[in-house]
Amino acid sequence: MNLFRLIRKSILRQQMVSFLTIALVPSVILTLVATRMAMLSVEESVRRNLIVLGNAKASALETYANARIREVNLAAQNRTVNDALHQCKKNAIAASGDISKAKPLVQVDSKLVAELAFMTESLNFENVILLDMNQQILFSLKPPYVPGDRLNQGNYRSTRFAASVEQVLTLLQTTFSEFEILDHQRTPVSYVVSPIVDDGEIAGVLAFELEQTDILDVVTDYTGMGKTGQILVGKDVEGKKDEAILVAPTKNDTQAAFKKRIRKHRNEVSPMISAISGGQGYAWTHDESDRPVVAAWFYVPSFRWGIVIEQQFSEAFALGERIRMVSMALLIATAILTVIVARWLALRQSRRIVDVAEAAGELAAGHLAARAPVRGEDELARLANSFNGMAQQLEVSDRTRNRDMAELERNAAALASAAEVESRTRATLQETARNLSQAGQKLVDTSNDGYQTATEQASSVNEVVATVEEIRATAEQNSAKAESVAHLTNDSAQALQEGAAAVRQIIQSMGQLREIVNDYAQEIATLADRTRQIDQITSSVNEIADQSKLLALNATIEAAKAGEQGKGFAVVAAEVRNLAEQSKTANTRIRHMLSEIRKAAEATVLATDKGVSGVDSTLELTRSAGDVIDRINESLGQAASAVAQISNATRQQYVGIDQINQAMREFQQTTRQLSGNARQTQEASELLSELSQELLKLTSDNAMTCNEI
């Protein structure tokens, strides 16, 4: 209440509050809406980016695993592997079933060992192991595995390798063992295990040892993840459902593999625990250092891993924070500018009103020459002109009163002369004096009544004039305020119309940009599809080359067995093998080039998706801003129409009241003149009565004197 009372006591404060309300309320609403929509758009862009990156990493790992499984399947069908398995079994039989005492395969058939070594190297594996149906090792290209060891006994029994071999013997399908660090190894290894089928029956098991090198190339590629983005790859810890262990180094800890554990904490979602449980999703959470992050997680079935893509909240939403800060800065700048302009306008108008008030104070103090300065041609200027006209009229009235007083003095002198004449004619005027005395007394009574009536009427007229003057001042203020509000409303409506036109142009341009970006994205997607098709063809060519190389190898072996008759066939087989090797090398280069093209295409697709998302978000934001401006423009149009009607009505009211005020002033002047005339008549009547009495007395005295004489 005190604040409202303080505002009502000053026109300056009232105008500033009006200007600030009209200018700032729409700006605040528009800024809040635009900032909220921008934050939602940034959040959706971050979510989509993390999901796309996570899908790409999980798909790359799954594709790699499937490719290795296909290679081991083909190797298990190779004749060299079957021959090596049969030879190892023969050696065991020759040693009375004790494979540990049998001759090593390299001593029995060095060519088979060389072919197995060549196969292992060409397939980019570290070691090859042959096992029988009892999980007994028959052959190992490299230590520490020794023929005669059993995976289902001793130290190997609890390894993931032993579990995979048992799974293959049960399910009869190729599988990947989980990566693990064994006692004799420093780096984590996995085994791709496949059954060896001979004549439709399971003859043994083939296992290739694989290191993490190729996989680390995928999970340590942080392209498009910023400074704080990182990839976590983990697996479950046996017997602990709320705990996982990392199987690959992280961006911030290169020694984290198989050492660092992740535990579920608090009551929030744990991305890694959810991922290794077979789930996928996106959430805001905290990392191990309790920093807020955004994370997306996926499950990789072939490796039974969970992969988590996370990025710190501060970097992920940096764009949204910048948008919010810029919006707040613009809002503050607008508020400051509005306050400055509002204060300047209000001070300019209130100063002119104060000038008129000061001039009125001087006039009330008796300085009839006081005048108010006139600035401009608006209502306040007309008020100053009207005040100056009133002051001038008062000055003229004062001069007229002075002239009347001089005339009254001249009349008094003339009356004195008449008295002298009367003294000479007293005898004649005695009777007339008596009659005049009687008439003068009656005139005095009548003048007293008329003067009292005129005085009461003048008092009533003065009260009416004061009331009309107050109504006129109020109507004038209302008219000025209505005109100011009408001008401000029209200016705001015009500015909003220009803003709406600019927003419509922006929407049209953003629509054209979106169509261009979509066309570009479709072309890139088509290119990516073509590279995938070529990659499938090269994969087929690679498989054919492997089979051709194996066939050539078998042909060479058969030619060697044929002796001299197979030399020519051996030369042809060697050429076929060389051609297969060259074909595979060229095919490998092509696949590498296609991989680079596919990566570039995928990166371009991701960037294009971000561009489309950004264009869509900006277009939606611009459309929403246009809708808000249109609604504000419509409301301002209605407000402008209402304010114009109010302004016209107020102006008409002011003109009518001003006319009433002028008429009442004229009536007041007439009443004052009537009252003055009545007063003068009363005074003259009293004087006349007194003179009549004196004249009567004088004439009586003169008559008595004359009688005595």
Q: Mean of the pLDDT values across residues 181-205?
A: 87
CA distance linking residue 216 with residue 474, whole number of Å: 84
How do residues 130-169 score in pLDDT, each as one tens digit? 999 999 999 999 888 888 889 988 888 888 899 999 999 9
CA distances from 243 to 271, 298, 401, 708 (A): 11, 17, 110, 154
CB hemisphere CA count around 576 (13 angstroms):
19
- 203 in Cβ contact with 82 (< 8 Å): yes
232 DSSP β-pair partners: 308
The more confident residue out of 116 and 286 is: 116
Instruction: With respect to residue 240, please indicate whether it lies within any of the assigned structural domains.
Output: yes
Which residues make beta-bridge pairs with 204? Answer: 196
Q: Please tell me the predicted confidence (pLDDT) of residue 411.
A: 66
Indicate whether 125 and 232 sit together in one domain. no
- Pick from 319, 311, 317: nearest CA to 251: 311
Amino acid at 604: T
88 lies in some domain? yes
Residue 610 placed within a domain: no
Number of H helices, E strands in the chain: 13, 11
Rounded to two decimals, the pTM is: 0.48
Whether 704 has a pLDDT exceeding 80, the answer reads no
Which residues on adjacent β-strands are paired with residue 230?
310
Q: Do residues 138 and 164 both lie within one domain? A: yes
pLDDT for the residue numbered 14: 67
Over residues 495-518, the mean pLDDT reads: 63
Q: Is residue 233 very low, low, confident or very high in pLDDT (cuts 50, 70, 90)?
A: very high
Both tokens of 237, joined, read 């810890």
Look at residues 169, 173, 177 and name the one whose alpha carbon lies nearest to residue 136.
169
What percentage of the chain's residues is helix, strand, coil (to nearest 5)? 75, 10, 15
- Looking at the structure, tell me whether residues 154 and 256 fall in a common domain: no
Closest CA to 308 of 329, 333, 287: 287
Tokens 């006692």 found at: 183
Residue of 652, 349, 331 lying closest to 660 (CA atoms): 652
Q: What are phi and psi of 227, to 5 degrees?
A: -80, -35
Number of domains in the chain: 3
Q: Which domain holds residue 10?
A: 2-47+319-345
Looking at the fold, whether 256 and 339 belong to one and the same domain comes out as no
We report the CATH number of the domain holding residue 138 as 3.30.450.20
Residue 605 and residue 556 in contact, taking contact as beta carbons nearer than 8 Å: no
Same domain as 147, residue 120: yes
Identify the domain boundary among 152, 177, 204: 204
Contact 233, 248 (CB under 8 A): yes
Q: What is the average pLDDT across 186-195?
A: 91
Clarify whether residues 194 and 229 are in a common domain.
no
Kindly state whether residue 394 falls inside one of the protein's structural domains. no
Query: Do 286 and 338 have their domain in common?
Result: no
Does some domain include residue 596?
no
Q: Is residue 482 assigned to a domain? A: no
Q: Please, which pLDDT band fits residue 449 given cuts at 50, 70 and 90?
A: low
With bands split at pLDDT 50, 70 and 90, how would you rate the model's confidence at 64? Answer: very high
Is 174 a domain residue? yes
Mean pLDDT calculated for residue range 7-23: 66
DSSP 247: -
Domain end marker among 204, 227, 255: 204
The yes-or-no verdict on residue 79 having pLDDT over 60 is yes
Give residue 203's pLDDT band: very low, low, confident or very high (50, 70, 90). very high
pLDDT of residue 254: 83
Q: Are 562 and 90 in contact (CB under 8 A)?
A: no
φ, ψ for residue 682 (rounded to 5)? -60, -45
At residue 131, φ and ψ (nearest 5 deg) are -130, 155
Q: How far is the C-alpha of 190 from the C-alpha of 463, rounded, in Å?
A: 110
By the 8 A CB rule, do 584 and 545 touch?
Answer: yes
With residue 293 as reference, give the H or E element that holds it.
strand 292-300
Do 173 and 96 reside in the same domain of the chain?
yes
Which neighbouring-strand residues pair with 272?
none
* CA atoms of 285 and 266, how far apart (whole Å): 10
The last residue of a domain, from among 177, 204, 231: 204
Do 311 and 333 fall into the same domain? Answer: no
pLDDT at 123 over 70: yes
Same domain? For 279 and 330 the reply is no
pLDDT digit string, tens, across residues 389-425 = 777 777 777 778 777 777 767 765 765 665 565 556 5
pLDDT at 221 over 70: yes
- Which has more pLDDT, 561 or 36? 36
Query: CB within 8 A of 417, min separation 6: which ones?
Result: none
CA end-to-end distance (rounded Å), the chain: 93
Residues 138 and 20 in one domain: no
Share the mean pLDDT of the chain: 75
Whole-number Å distance between alpha carbons of 686 and 680: 10
Q: Using a pLDDT cut of 70, give the percent of the chain over it.
A: 56
**What's the mean pLDDT in 432-436?**
59
Give a yes or no: residue 509 inside a domain: no
What distance separates the 2 farthest-apart alpha carbons in the chain? 207
pLDDT band at 208 (very low <50, low <70, confident <90, very high): very high
pLDDT digits (tens, 9 = 90+) for 616-671: 666 676 576 567 656 666 665 665 575 566 667 556 656 665 765 676 576 567 66
Statement to judge: residues 20 and 43 lie in one domain: yes
